[in-house]
Amino acid sequence: MYPERLEVANRQRLVLYPTPGLALFAENATEGAACRGLFAQAGRAFAAIGTKIYEMSSTGELTEIGTVAIDSNPATFAMNGDAGNELFITSGDKGYIYNFSTEVFGEQVTDVTQGGMVDGYFLGLDAATSTLKVSDLLDGTTWSGLNTLQRSAAPDPWQAMVIRDRTILLFGTETTEPIYDAGTSPMPFAPVPGIVIPYGIAAPFSAKTLGASTLWLARSKDGDRQVVQMNGYSVRRVSTHAVEMAFSRYDDVSDAVAFTYQDQGHQFYELNFPNANATWVYDLALGMWHERGHWDSDARRYQMWGPQYHCYAFNKHLVGDVSGAGRIFEMNIDLYTDVDGNGLRRQRVPPILENEQNRLIINKFQLHCDVGIGLPGATWDIDDDEGDPLVPPVITSSDQGYDPQIMMQMSTDGGETWSEERWRSAGKLGEYQHRAQWWRCGSGRNVIIAVAMTDPVPWRIIDAIVEAKGAMH
């Protein structure tokens, strides 16, 4: 779930809304490889799945357009518009061009880990030698050895590249350098005079643009594992101490991969840590973080959420699955299932409730949430052997979502141990006066009351009320 600011009656309060679910959009069952990148522009959409590059139709049909080399890095995409009519793809340290007019696909440049386009020029970054390579104008099939730029403003090597507002941002291990089209020849690009940003990058594929901002997992000469946001050339830290504490416990963050998207008035920066098996999401609208994950029911813990790449195409948020099944999903807040088709497990674990370390007796806990949101039950007709008329339809309660349940657990020792789950209904369809309450919850000095939900309904948590020692808190 993610926080949403509810603005009504001259009051502002935070509520919790459900994060989006997934529905299968496209699948390459023959290859069974992981998605390695998505891209959409000018009404066309493309996907890198394993060693293949596909164009996606609005109905989810995948048409192969070429084969690429692969390594552990994601693939990147760029187009040079109607004037060039080309698609540039980097994969496996090589650059490929697909010509939309001739439908010819082929390798054109080597030693490039990331690509982009500015002013009709394709750009390729060679992170191994800290070199920016530039194609001819509107021609991705020609890469002159003269059109290169080597890092010189600072000693740390370039590791990553993103394009923001016609500016090339080249991220080193300790600093970042903006490059612009200076109109010079033969190399048209040059560093912006006098600008070196004192933040480098800890994960080369964590840098993403979102609106007028650029966000990335940063490092500098003083340390690393902070998420920063840059507007113009001004950089500020947006990760919190709690988030950074979590990052500090990961053995390796260099493989972190980010994607960004905008939905429901929010701008989200999602950061996957494959090695650490974790997903963190920053909401630019509220400046707050939340976690997402795939619930492993056997291990009883969250794993990294499956989607790792995003594009907006055909009026849909499309995301690529990295599990190795070659699948592309539609991501939507009106969907309630995960990559495995099972319901999403949504969980809220609030801060500790304590009163100067005095023992609290929790008489009642009430979750103030949307109620009466159950789904219609299944119906069937029964005919007896004698041809009597059909009995009235019978509504069952066996279907998930018919009587949505809230699972509450309480810890009295600050989250070290937890009680068994106690289930309460959130109300069947139309039961709008229902209340989800738990009585005689126990006592403790460091109390945490957590709730979880798995039914496929539009959960919204508005508030929680705790009655402790007869007082309302």
409, 311: one domain: no
331, 258: one domain: yes
434, 400: one domain: yes
390, 313: one domain: no
335, 396: one domain: no
Is 90 exceeded by the pLDDT of residue 89? yes
336, 379: one domain: no
145 band by pLDDT with thresholds 50, 70 and 90: confident
145, 31: one domain: yes
Assigned domain for 330 exists: yes
For the chain, the straight-line distance linking the first and the last C-alpha, in angstroms and rounded, comes to 23
State how far the Cα of 309 lies from the Cα of 328, in Å rounded to an integer: 9
Largest CA distance in the chain: 93
Please give the pLDDT value at position 347: 96
The answer to whether 444 touches 354, Cβ cutoff 8 Å, is: no
Domain that holds residue 396: 360-472
Assigned domain for 353 exists: no
What is the model's pTM?
A: 0.92
Quick: pLDDT tens for 335-356. Answer: 999 988 888 999 999 999 988 8
339, 376: one domain: no
Assigned domain for 453 exists: yes
144 band by pLDDT with thresholds 50, 70 and 90: confident
Please give the pLDDT value at position 391: 54
Structure tokens at 234: 């001004």
Please give the pLDDT value at position 267: 97
Quick: pLDDT tens for 384-411. Answer: 455 555 555 554 555 788 999 999 999 9
473 band by pLDDT with thresholds 50, 70 and 90: very low
Assigned domain for 351 exists: no
Contacts of 53 (CB under 8 A, 6+ apart): 46, 47, 64, 65, 66, 67, 68, 75, 89, 91, 96, 98, 105
317, 466: one domain: no
Assigned domain for 349 exists: no
Quick: pLDDT tens for 222-243. Answer: 999 999 999 999 999 999 999 9
Number of independent structural domains in the chain: 2
